[in-house]
Amino acid sequence: MPLPPHAIPVLDHGFVRVLEVMGDDVGIVGAARVSFGNESKGEKADRGLIKYLLAHDHGTPFEMTAFKFHIRAPIFVARQWFRHRWSSFNEISGRYVSLEHRFFLPSTLRTPDMKNKQGSVEGGFSKEEEEGLLGEMDKSARAAYSTYESLLEAGVAREIARTVLPLSLYTEFYWKVNARSLMNFLRLRTEIHAQKEIRAYAVPLLRVFEEHLPWTASAFRELFLSSLDLDPEA
């Protein structure tokens, strides 16, 4: 099935798609200066103000902008995403629609990182072992979906039939987030120790952020992300 228009592909079946953007860098500056009855003082001064606001954690002016995204991601990624509660979500419901046969299957496997209990590292399997284990994962997802279809055909309610589906199933949701909360998401999810799969989504979101709020994004990168490797495959 083709991706929706203007969608940025992520992982094997996921995407990030921009639906709406409200506000810009100048609007952030205006919100910060409204107390003094003025707005822009020219690009150099405005960019300096944005950097000052970020450096000193004056976040309210950044709440005057908003992004609305359409996201498709595996359920286990979405559950990490939904922890960012200072934003709004609306997710597809398996109670109301039949869920599509679309599962995440990694290209390679990882083993636990002995130095970081939350992390993982590449390698640890022979080519034959990895192929066999990936095959078992694919077989398991296919079997689960086959059971799901059988339950639906037998007349079981969608809200019950869906319980057999694994966390690798793709879900879709709309995400509305202001720039302040988006930067919090990006600080956490581009970090090198974030799970690789959610980091793969954070990188295109950062690109979108840079496109629509270039002054803010430039200061944000300099202050918070300058030392990070933002390659999602890293």
Contact indicator for 16, 201 with CB cutoff of 8 Å: yes
Residue 28 near residue 50, CB atoms below 8 Å = yes
- Which one from 72, 162, 180, 189 is the annotated catalytic residue? 189
CB 202 within 8 A of CB 190: yes
Q: Is 198 exposed, middle or buried (0-12, 13-18, 19+ CB in 10 A)?
A: buried
Assess whether 199 carries a catalytic annotation: no
Tokens of 9: 């592909």
∠ Cα 139 142 143 (to 5°): 85
Tell which residue, 91, 69, 49, has the closest CA to residue 177.
69
- Tell me the residue type at 34: V
Task: Just list the catalytic residues.
Answer: 189
